[in-house]
Chain A
Amino acid sequence: MAGSDVTKEPRFEQSTNALGQRSQEDRCAWRTDAQSVSQPANRIRRRVGRNILALSRLAGALLVLGIVWWWVSSTSAIAAKYVLPPIPVVWADFVELVRSGVLFKHIFWSLFRVLGGFLLAVVTVVPFGLLLGRYRRLYLFFEPIIELLRPVSPIAWIPLAILWFGIGEASKFFLVWLVCCFVILVNTIAGVTAVDRRLVDAALTLGTRRRKLFTKVIFPAALPAILTGMRIGLGLAFVAVVVAEMIAARSGVGFMMERARATMNPSHVIVGMIVLGLLGYLLNEVIGALFQGRRFRGSAS
């Protein structure tokens, strides 16, 4: 079956396969498997060819988008002024932002807030989740609190964070912590409760101390689920921080875009969009690389 060897492909080759799916040509429902069964050398050659092809298709799409952009900005003066300025104008503004270092300052602050609050959440919440997952009565006690607060959309916390902690860094850290907190907590608990009871019993029978039980048995077994929670949490935190920056901040990519919008400066908005797209993409790639190999060991959400 062609699908079985597809999962072993290195990631960089998968990523060129658009839509992030496992190689689609191989498992497309409309095709027979005979097409993808071939000699190894042949297959490698085909893969290289496929990469070049995928890149050239991306380049082609970029070109088409560029032409549409150019066409819109040159035919409509209003669009060019308020929404889609000519490409050279945006490019000049971009170069100016890079040269003055302003762009990197904003990117730094956004990343600092996301990663700082995220690490804070991981450090505080994972041990708590391990305890809640292990001790059912403790979990029952906290369950209503968690389940009442968890469904609240991350965005809805922003006004409260600003009210309680002002528009400075504290409110962003609180927001990111809160947003990551529930996702990581729930996934950690699910991971711990899914740990094979026999592992725990065996460790206890062999005389494992309580602390070692957590560090050597429960935590490693629950790790895939914890990582899943971390990945989801990081994505939500990224969105929440950018919105918080749009509402109240003095730095960050969200702040840059919102100020540009308020002052009718669309080229900075577009630069911000591209930067956010690249940041989201890179964040995804980095996490994917870090979590590689753990993904198929099963996860809970």
Chain B
Amino acid sequence: MRALRWTGYAELPYYAGGVAVLLLGWTLVSASLDNRTLLPPPIVVSRTLVEVFLEGDLVRHTVASTRLAIVGFLVAAVTAIPLGVALVLSPVVRWVVEPFVELLRPIPAIAWIPISLLAFGTGAAGRLFIVWIAAYIPILFNTVRAVHDVPPAYVGAARTLGASRRFVLFHVIIPGSIPFVVTGLRLGFGSAWRLVLAAELLAAQEGLGFMIADAREVLRVDIVLVGVAVIGFVGYTFAKLFIALERWSLRYKRTVAEG
């Protein structure tokens, strides 16, 4: 999980060489094709990028996809985290809810796409439902694991010192489980982002998935490539944000080590 970053100028020639080979190979392959439309050279694609951006289509579709992913993700976080905490802490909730979770969990989120299109139509509601399901499972399971992995000694110590259950929940268990929950949020957003695209590819009138599906049908490979690049960029940016959040949530460990 190493990202591109400047650790010194000694690596620069290698990076430059790699990028140069990529661009050169791309240009050569596209020049050698009989049908140039299948892989336009890098210059054409970069020109298309500027064009689509200036027309405003790119921004509009990117905003639509990102908004859908964020809304679905937030709804999933708000509904999954409390259930995850309750599943570990409350025997009653575990007794009742766990079998349902076990039964529905193996069904992958994509399997819900056709049925949600039947139930909700091709509007935004159906896509929101799919994104919610996609983000729900990773968040739920990481929350369960997070709460479960809070050392019993911490709870025992707090209880021995006279803390109420309520105090233990809010001052021991929840703070102690935040790092893993954040990991769950990162995985949940990744899953949500994948499913946003899948749903838009299949049935939508807006979003990056729709943009590349539409471009495919009219054989505009340059637009597809631009869309793919933007999809990668957005996914990457959010992953980085969540990784920064994870690091931030673990900062107390660093202070303890230093102090």
A247 — nearest CB in chain B belongs to which residue? B201
Complex interface: chain B residues within 8 A of A264 (CB): 118
Q: B15 at interface (Cβ–Cβ under 8 A)?
A: yes
Give 11 CB contacts A-B under 8 Å: A31-B152, A58-B102, A61-B99, A65-B100, A143-B14, A186-B1, A243-B202, A247-B201, A254-B110, A269-B115, A273-B107
Main secondary structure of the interface of A (DSSP, over half): helix
Report if A29-B110 is in contact (Cβ < 8 Å); known contacts: A142-B18, A152-B232, A155-B209.
no
Report if A18-B101 is in contact (Cβ < 8 Å); known contacts: A157-B228, A281-B106.
yes
Give the distance in Å from the alpha carbon of A30 to the alpha carbon of B113 in the complex. 39
Report if A19-B98 is in contact (Cβ < 8 Å); known contacts: A30-B89, A153-B197, A261-B117.
yes
Complex interface: chain B residues within 8 A of A239 (CB): 108-110, 194
Complex interface: chain B residues within 8 A of A195 (CB): none
Q: Interface size (B, Cβ < 8 Å)?
A: 75
B121 — nearest CB in chain A belongs to which residue? A82
**CB of A90, distance to nearest CB on chain B (Å):** 12
Q: Can you add 15 more A-B contacts, CB < 8 Å, to A27-B148, A58-B102, A239-B194? A: A18-B102, A30-B89, A82-B118, A140-B11, A147-B3, A153-B232, A155-B198, A156-B232, A159-B215, A164-B39, A247-B213, A261-B118, A274-B107, A277-B111, A280-B107
Query: Which are the 6 A-B pairs with shortest beta-carbon distances?
Result: A61-B99, A140-B14, A152-B232, A151-B236, A277-B107, A281-B106
State which residues 55-89 of A face B: CB under 8 Å: 57-58, 60-62, 64-65, 82-83
Complex interface: chain B residues within 8 A of A273 (CB): 107, 111-112, 115
**How many residue pairs between the two chains, A and B, have CB atoms under 8 Å in the bound complex?**
199
Binary CB contact string for chain A from 217 to 242 against chain B (1 if under 8 A, 0 otherwise): 00000000000000000000011001
Q: Is the CB of A156 within 8 A of B231?
A: yes
Interface size class of A (residues with CB under 8 A): 35 or more
Q: Is the CB of A162 within 8 A of B216?
A: yes
State which residues 142-200 of A face B: CB under 8 Å: 142-145, 147-149, 151-160, 162-164, 186, 190
Q: B56 at interface (Cβ–Cβ under 8 A)?
A: no
Binary CB contact string for chain B from 226 to 237 against chain A (1 if under 8 A, 0 otherwise): 011101110110
Across the interface, B88 reaches (CB within 8 A) one of A24, A33, A141, A254, namely A24
**CB of A206, distance to nearest CB on chain B (Å):** 31
Q: Is the CB of A257 within 8 A of B88?
A: no
